[in-house]
Structure 1
Amino acid sequence: MTLSQTLIARAAQVRVSRAARSSKVSGAAMALIAVVLAALPFLVFSTVTDTLVNLFVLIALASMWNLLAGFGGLVSVGQQAYIGIGAYSVIALADQGVQPYLAVPLGALTCALFAVPTSWLAFRLRGDYFAVGTWVIAEVYRLLVVRIDGVGGGSGKGLAGMSGIDQTLRGALTYWIALALALATIGGCYLLLRGRLGLSLMAVRDEETAAGSAGIDVTRAKRLVYLISAAGCGAAGGVITVSSLSVNPDSIFSVQWSAYMIFIVVIGGIGYIEGPLLGALVFFGLQQVLADHGSWYLVLLGAVGIATALWLPGGLWGLVRDRTGLSLFPVGYHVRDGGGDVASR
């Protein structure tokens, strides 16, 4: 057999797929976990589901920040602007007679609309200036809301339209919409990153100039991911509102939300879809165990964040990926030659 015939025969044995065998098994396991989580209101006390609502909100927020910074290269410290806008949109729509749970996706749409003119301003900044600029924009939105008496001004406002719902049913509905938000943000990131926009984003993140010279519309890709992230954070703000039944401008527009997102993504693994999920679980566990320890809780969080940044630049999931090769949400390509994987991209 000649060399060319050998190469042709070898190429015929090569198969390219978007998922490894382990990914398919883990996908089935995660689907089963999602079904179990959906059934929890029928299996456990409401105190458990009420606590899990906070976890789902953290997963959604961290996934949106990871999409923005980890895949789009846009490091924002002002995503709390859209959490606040989403929360107040639910308040305003409920005052107009819209059912609060239906107002949550409408609040996400409102945030996407607000993000359009905001992006024109924010994208004039680069690097550190962009990060600081987004925080300033969030503060401007907070100051504007404080001056609107119709939504309670500086003292905040309660959520209308929930008094007629049974408390047990209300808790279950809030849990389900929070779970749906977490699943939608993870699944949405996965589907987006497997498409052309995902490839464009990662090219822009790695080298913006080279991506532009290759024909990628850099500004369009950035703006799209910024709008998607804004909508996701707005939906999370709406869930926070229907869970707490009220909103306060100082807390909902607090930069602490961005600090939570950044911490979760850093310890979980920036640039991995799995990173926010693992990081949120770790952060949530630390909250539950150490929240009653006052300042020591904050000290430990800071120590964990610093240690991860220094010794695990890829985060916890980066460590798992290096050791096992496992990918729950593969967005690259797997090349199989005969019986096994020979390369992953």
Structure 2
Amino acid sequence: MNNPCHTLSRVAATLLSLITIGALFAVPFFAPRAIVQDLFGVLTLLVLALNWNMLAGFAGLVSVGQQAFVGIGAYAMFAAVILWGLDPMVGILIGGLAATLFAIPMAFFTFRLNGAYFAIGTWVVADISRLTAGQWMALGGGTGTSLPKGTARDMFGVEAIKEVLDVSSAAAADALTYWVALTLTLLLLVASYLFLRSRMGLGLQAIRDNANAARSVGVDPVRIKVAVFIFTALGTGLCGALMFMQITRVTPDAAFSVIDWTAFVIFVVVIGGIGTLPGPIIGVAVFYCLQRLMADYGTAYLIVLGLLGIPIMLFARRGLWGTFVDRTGLEILPLRHLAPPRRCSEDVSRLAASQPANGMENRRSVTSI
């Protein structure tokens, strides 16, 4: 039976989550532009962390080449805007589609590798992508390029937001990209939860725990892992296009940066709790707080991140959120599948006693309960 305290806690957590989501959507109405930009950075990092967590935490695919999808999404969006004259919002969708298509041949190559070789293989593919982008002269080659002046002002929805919020075109564009990032984050969380609670998601977690045992009961590890790889490529590509649309300038080194788009993401997931959905949220919050508190000390916050990550990896292997769940038993977005409650043995005994002693039909009815 469910613990009433845990049920009440989940209801309270759900209400708190709904209030938080509503407050986040309302931020551009009352917060200064700097706060909106900061939260945009937090949300995009969270999207990257959720995608990497799905790969490494649930599928067991430790990729060090997620920056490939960020860069391809960004460059596809810039091509759509500069070369084809499309709206940046359409360009973001094209960026996600381009990253998804690229994931298919990338999976064909990298899925022939295992363990550390898979990680190195994804890194190699990402670096090849960076070098290739540097040869695209229509988009600036190795020095990159910028979006045309006025692109943000002419973007779909900016004028309407400008009138509603009574702000400048730049602030309206920031609000629009913030809302898109928040929507993408929520959609990814919901999609990840529903997927992991589905039969395919259950099979994915079974593969992570014991691939041979999962294969013995009919689960196809390759098919499920490829599906997850392509799904995360879509989310990462959309996020990359969105980030560089807000940055307005792209270069190969920035778009395919392993430090910014993979190393930081790995740290966030590990300290928050790999293999859990709330874990990346906790990790991003810790990362952002440390970054803000130590903003005046340059890159010293990287040292603090390392000093924080070492004890967590040594003494809290499941991260901050995993340790919290182990000690309190409280889970938000639980992924475990509970067996249906069994009939109490006392009820069965009482029912059996109420049946006549003779008669095979009655005996069979009692036995079948």
The TM-score with structure 2 as length reference comes to 0.84
Q: Residue 33 in 1 paired to residue 33 in 2?
A: no
Per-residue CA shift, 1:205-252, capped at 9, x if unaligned? 111122112101111100000001111111110111121111111011
| Contact 1:159/1:241 (8 A) holds in 2 | no
Distance (whole Å) between structure 2 residues aligned to residue 171 and residue 15 of structure 1: 44
Which residue is 1:190 aligned to? 193
Selected match of 2:265 from 257, 261, 272: 261
**Greater CA drift, 221-230 or 327-336:** 327-336
Structure 1: 5+ residue stretches without partners: 1-13, 339-345
Could you tell me which amino acid in structure 2 is paired with residue 301 of structure 1? L
Distance (whole Å) between structure 1 residues aligned to residue 86 and residue 285 of structure 2: 33
Per-residue CA shift, 1:57-101, capped at 9, x if unaligned? 111000000000000000000000000011111101112122112
| Contact 1:53/1:178 (8 A) holds in 2 | yes
**Greater CA drift, 286-295 or 112-121:** 286-295
The TM-score with structure 1 as length reference comes to 0.89
| Contact 1:66/1:265 (8 A) holds in 2 | yes
Which residue is 1:67 aligned to? 54
How do 1:157-306 residues align onto structure 2 when only pairs under 5 Å count? 157-160=145-148, 161-164=151-154, 166-256=169-259, 257-306=261-310
| Structure with greater contact order relative to length (CA < 8 Å, sep ≥ 6) | 1
Could you tell me which amino acid in structure 2 is paired with residue 194 of structure 1? R
Q: Secondary structure at the match of 1:134?
A: helix
Change over 3 Å in CA distance of 1:295–1:163 after alignment to 2: closer
Per-residue CA shift, 1:291-314, capped at 9, x if unaligned? 331342221111111111001101
Q: Secondary structure at the match of 1:271?
A: coil
Identity %, equivalent residues: 41
Distance (whole Å) between structure 2 residues aligned to residue 277 and residue 310 of structure 1: 21
Q: Residue 153 in 1 paired to residue 141 in 2?
A: yes
Distance (whole Å) between structure 1 residues aligned to residue 301 and residue 317 of structure 2: 23
Shift of 1:144: 0.6
Distance (whole Å) between structure 1 residues aligned to residue 85 and residue 7 of structure 2: 49
Shift of 1:336: 8.6
Distance (whole Å) between structure 2 residues aligned to residue 187 and residue 45 of structure 1: 29
| Contact 1:15/1:336 (8 A) holds in 2 | no
Distance (whole Å) between structure 2 residues aligned to residue 292 and residue 15 of structure 1: 49
Structure 2: 5+ residue stretches without partners: 159-168, 343-369
| Contact 1:264/1:280 (8 A) holds in 2 | yes
How do 1:108-127 residues align onto structure 2 when only pairs under 5 Å count? 108-127=96-115
Could you tell me which amino acid in structure 2 is paired with residue 113 of structure 1? L
CA RMSD in angstroms comes to 1.9
Distance (whole Å) between structure 2 residues aligned to residue 50 and residue 118 of structure 1: 33
Q: Residue 105 in 1 paired to residue 93 in 2?
A: yes
Shift of 1:290: 1.4
